[in-house]
Structure 1
Amino acid sequence: MTDMPYFLDTDYLTHVLKDALHQASPTGMTDGMATLIEQELLKLGLSSSRTLRGAVKAVIPGGQSELPALAFSAHMDTLGAMVRQVKENGRLAVAPIGTWSARFAEGARVSVIKEDGGAIRGTILPLRASGHRYSKEVDTQPSDWDNLEVRLDVDSEQSQTTLALGIEVGDFVCVDPQPEFNGEYINSRFLDNKAAIASLLTSVKALMDHQLTPKRDIHLYFTNSEEVGTGAGHIVANNVGDLVAIDLAVMGPGQSSHPKGVTLAMMDLSGPYNRHLIRDLESVCNAKDIAYSKDIFRYYYSDTHSATIAGADCRMALICYACDSSHGWERTHQQSLLSVSQLAFYMMQR
C-alpha cells in the first residue's frame, strides 16, 4: 500500500479522537458528545441539527442534489453502567448499559453522575476483591454483573449516607477510557465508536479543506443509541440512496479483518450487506490503493440494522477499522483509521 495521501490531517484525527474519548457518552447520556461533534462540524463550515432523540445530523450539499444522497453513520454512544441499587453497605449495585462482559468492568475507575450534574469517583470491584481476605474465593467467584459493586471514594459505609450524597437509582456510571497513544497504536476503552467519528470527520475536513463539491448530497449521521440496537432507526432521510455505517472490525482467530487497513463487512448478525454497494467500495479501494479485506461478523450488527428495521429503502454497507478486544480493552492502529478516512473521502466524490 502507498503512504497515506497528503490531504488527510493525521494531527486532526488524533486531536478529535482524544477529545472524543475524554467526553463520556454512555447510551442515554450523550449530550456532551453531541455538542462536541456540533462544534467540530461548525469549525469545518457545516451547520448541523439535533434530532429529538439527541442524534446529530448534517448535510454537505452536492452539485447534483437531485441524485440519491450518500449517508455515513457513526455512533457516538458507548458502553457504561447505571446504578440499580444503593446497598446496605453504602456501595452501589450496577446494571450494564449495552452488552459487555463483567470481567472487563472489574477494576474500572468510574464517575457516578448525580442528577444535579455532580460526580463522585469510585471503582467497580467484585464482591470478593481482596486475596488477603478471601484467598482462593477471589478466583472462584463468578464473573457477572450481579457480582460487582461500586466502591465510592467517600466516607459511606451505609445506604443512608450514600443516599444523602444525592446518589440514586438511575444515575449514570461513566467508565474512564484510559487512552494511550503509543506511536501508531491506540489503546483505549470506547474506541467503539469514537474512532469512527474521528475518521469520518477527518475525511470531511479533507473535502472542505480542498473546497471539493461532491457529486451528490452527503449526509452525516452521528447516532446515539447503537449500543442498545436503535441507533439509526429514526434518522435516515427519504432521499438517501446509500447508507455506509462505520464501526469496528472484529479481530481474532477465525476472522479476516485487516489490522491496518479497511475491512468491508460482507455480513453480520442482521444478514448480508448490499453486494452492489460493497463492489463500489471495493472498486475505490483497488483504484486508490487502499489496503482492505473482507470479513463476516457473526455476533454483532451496526447502525444499518436499526435503519433496516425502521424501513429505510436504501443500499447499506459497513466499513470498519481494526479493533482488537472489542467491548473490552480495545486497541486500533492509526493506519487503519486513516484508511477508513481515505475510503470515505473518495466515496464522497463518486
Structure 2
Amino acid sequence: MATRKLFSVLFLQFMFVVLLVLDPANAHKELKVGFYEKSCPEAEAIVKKVMVEILSKAPTLAAPLIRLHFHDCFVRGCDGSVLLDSSTKQAEKDFASNLSLRGFQIIDRVKSALEKACPGVVSCADILAIVARDAAATIKGPSWEVETGRKDGRVSSITEASDNLPPPYANITLLIRIFQGKGLSIKDLVVLSGAHTVGTSHCHSFDYRLYNFTGKLGTTDPKLDPNYIKRLKSKCNKLGDETTLAEMDPGSFKTFDASYYTLVAKRMGLFESDAALLNNTKTKSYVKLQAATGGSTFFDDFGVSMVNMGRIGVLTGKAGEIRKQCSKVNK
C-alpha cells in the first residue's frame, strides 16, 4: 500500500512537470515571491544595493532598466532573451526599436554580484524583473513584491522582436490586440503605458507627428496639442534626427509619478500610442481618473500590472537554464 501511494505521488509530480512543459501558459504558476529564500537568501538585497549605488549617481538609468524588462517580456516571454548577443546581429537587441535600449552593463554588474554570492542560482530573467522594481522604487515610484523562479531562454530573434513589440505609432486597436495576445488586459495596457512618466526618446521615434504626419511634408498630427508641437519642434528641429533626445514627461522625466496621465489628457502624449489611450472608453476613463486625482491608484495598479507582465511566457522548472553570463547561453 505504501509503495503504491508513493508511486501515485511521484506520478502526479511527474505529470505536473509534463503539463507545464506542454502548456507553457501555466508555467507562471511555478513563480512565487521569495523563490530564492533558501538558495540565495540575500539575492534581492544584493540587487537593491547595486541599484541604489548606481541610481544615486545616474538616476536617468531607471527608465531604461524598466524598459528592458518590458522589451524582454513582450518577445518570447520574460526569459532574458533581450540580453543575448548575436555575432550575426540577429538577436532581439539588434532590432531597430531596441538599438536605443540601455542598461545592459548594469544587468551584468548585478549578475556578477549575485554570481559571487550564489553561483549559478539566480536567472538573468529574474534579475530583469527585480531590477525593474528597484529602479521604479528608487526614483520615488511604486514598489511591489516580485515573483521569481524564471529560467533563461536560449533563443533571441530579431524577427520575433519586430513581430511582437508594440510600435510607437500603434493605434488603440493594435495596442489592445498586442496586449491581449500576451494575456494582458486593457487596464494593464493603460497602466503600463504610465511607465512613460520617466525617460526620454529620440526625436526620430515621433517627429513624423511634427513634420510629415500624412505623408506630406509640413503636416502635423491634429491629435497633438498645437503649443506642444511648437515646443517639440524647438527641440527636434528637423525630420529624421536620430541623436537628439526629448523628455517623455516634460518637467518630471526623472521622477516616477502620475503626471503622464495629465499630459495625455491634455493631448501632450509624445507618441501616437499615448494619444491612442483617449480613443477607447476604458483607457480614456483611466487616464482621466489619474489626471484628476493625481494618480490615486496608479502606483498600486502599476505593481499589479508589472506582476502580470512578469508572468508572460516564462520558463520554469526543467525548461531553460540559469545563464552564467546574461549575454551568452551556457556551453
TM-score (norm 1): 0.24
- Structure with bigger strand share is 1
- Structure with bigger helix share is 2
TM-score (norm 2): 0.25
